[in-house]
Structure 1
Amino acid sequence: MSSRGSTFAAFGTAVALLTLTACSSATTGTASGPAGAVPVAVATSSPDAGAPPGAEILGRPGVGEPFTLTIGATDTARPDKFEVTVEEVRCGEPLDPAVVAHAAESVGEPTPTPTPEGGKQYCVVALEVLNVGRSEAIWSAGDVVTLNVDDTAYSQSLADADHAYDYRQYWYSKGKAAPSFGLNPGSTGPDFGIFQIPADDEPTTVWVSSGTSLESFDGPEPGYLVQLTPTD
């Protein structure tokens, strides 16, 4: 699949999303992040595959279906709240040439064309984030999102995080500030995650934590398991 792009659309309703159908066999690839693949639920036939073991799954929306994250203590007067929508997951294509050109422009010199690690492909996760809280707040997909192939979760490497930052800067130049720059109540902005998965694989879910990281001292943070594959 390395030479073709794949865009995953929303499938079914929340009721239909209770059973996950794997679109490819389980893989033994390692994560692109320096710490390796994040542990996830073991059974690929489980609807929980892709979520950290023991994590509370708050919902299983599809692509294009919004869900609400409440960040921080819910008993505070003004907890940060965001309505997040995974708009698209695109794999097997080079990073956006306009983004790459803008990044080169910003440093004032040519830069090498980004290429994935050997045997891997880029996947770009595009999200839309709306501040539905009561005060200005900051949010970023960087530390709270994994892209999963069945029961294997992939995090962003440092290089991937730099590319995601380039996407945010590009859209900021177009007048669309990312939530990592701060959003006022009622304001919306795009965010991005860049991941590398094996070239022959297709992602099945996206895990989005409702905390400021994937795990806290008490264990995995709760989150949403966004479905990318058709369900029965």
Structure 2
Amino acid sequence: MDKRLKVSSRTVAAAVMLVLMAACSDNSDQASVNGTTVPSTPTAPSTPTEGAPPGAEVLGTVRTDEPLTVTVLARDTANDPERWQFTVRSMTCGKPLDSAVMAYAAESVGSPTPTPTPEAGKQFCVVAMDALNVGKSEAVWNADNTVSLNVGDTRYTQSQQDSAYASDYAQYFSSKGQSGPTFGLNPGSRGPVHGVFQIPTGQQPTSIWITSGTAITTIDGVQPGYLVLLK
């Protein structure tokens, strides 16, 4: 009788162990399946600094609609630096430039102008930002050589023609009573600023780099700045 009880106990223990092992195996398999079948849609750069120029100090990272404060570093303003609060409001790719802006630009020169078209294989991307002068004196700022639109670690800046289109936006909004930093803003004043970029067709930007220098790269080397992660 005692021998039968001992054998029975061993049998029960073995059965319990088999059940536990089977359960662990099932959970492991399910986790493996979940890890390979759940779709992945990254909404941010794969690394915290992806999109920043190599060697640049990343002073901060924000997202669309989150403000960031930039102190523009320059030798001639070291004692009274310009300070801006920027907020990226929108980024539009793959569409023609604003027809009202282009019509105003044509009217201002008094003659029809060709419809803007991007370079072959590329698309326009327009970044709309809000700028607030939080410094102590009037200051001027625009996105030319100070902003890059990034697809992963590939950075796109405004060409000379893109810069002219961005100027058209500034003049149009100024005519509507919304003067921006392109023409100067006093302390406490805010206004819109636009950047026009061209990136390959079919690609989507992942971030924006905004330098805290007078240009992304100066004679002193690559300047520090901020990353704006796009939604």
Q: 8 Å contact 2:181–2:193 — kept in the other structure?
A: yes
Structure with larger Rg: 2
* Deviation of the 1:217 alpha carbon: 2.5
Stretch moving more, 160-169 or 174-183: 174-183
Matches within 5 A, 1:75-94: 76-94=78-96
- Look up the SS of the partner of 2:161 in the other structure: helix
Residue 214 of structure 1 aligns to which amino acid in structure 2? I
* Deviation of the 1:160 alpha carbon: 0.7
Select 2:212's aligned residue among 210, 213, 230: 210
Residue 146 of structure 1 aligns to which amino acid in structure 2? S
Matches within 5 A, 1:149-228: 149-228=151-230
Identify the residue that residue 115 of structure 2 maps to in structure 1: 113
Q: Distance in 2 between matches of 1:73 and 1:143?
A: 14
Moved over 4 A (4+): 21-24, 73-77
Q: 8 Å contact 1:121–1:197 — kept in the other structure?
A: yes
Identify the residue that residue 51 of structure 1 maps to in structure 2: 52
Stretch moving more, 214-223 or 167-176: 214-223
Select 2:136's aligned residue among 117, 134, 137: 134
Aligned length: 190
- Look up the SS of the partner of 1:225 in the other structure: strand
Q: Distance in 2 between matches of 1:141 and 1:163?
A: 11
Q: Distance in 2 between matches of 1:198 and 1:73?
A: 33
Q: Distance in 1 between matches of 2:214 and 2:195?
A: 15
More relative contact order in 1 or in 2 (CA 8 Å, sep 6+)? 1
- State the Cα deviation string for residues 9-64 of structure 1 (Å, max 9, x = none): xxxxxxxxxxxx7569xxxxxxxxxxxxxxxxxxx732211000110101110011
- Look up the SS of the partner of 2:194 in the other structure: strand
Q: Distance in 1 between matches of 2:103 and 2:43?
A: 34
Counterpart check, 1:69 vs 2:70: yes
* Deviation of the 1:189 alpha carbon: 1.0
Identify the residue that residue 34 of structure 2 maps to in structure 1: none
Q: Distance in 1 between matches of 2:228 and 2:73?
A: 21
Q: Distance in 2 between matches of 1:190 and 1:136?
A: 16
**Higher helix proportion, which one?**
2
* Deviation of the 1:77 alpha carbon: 4.3
- Compute the TM-score of the two structures, normalised by the length of structure 2: 0.78
Segments of structure 2 that go 5 or more residues without pairing to the other structure are 1-40
Q: 8 Å contact 1:66–1:83 — kept in the other structure?
A: yes
Residue 148 of structure 1 aligns to which amino acid in structure 2? N
Residue 79 of structure 1 aligns to which amino acid in structure 2? P
Task: Provide the aligned C-alpha RMSD in A.
Answer: 1.8
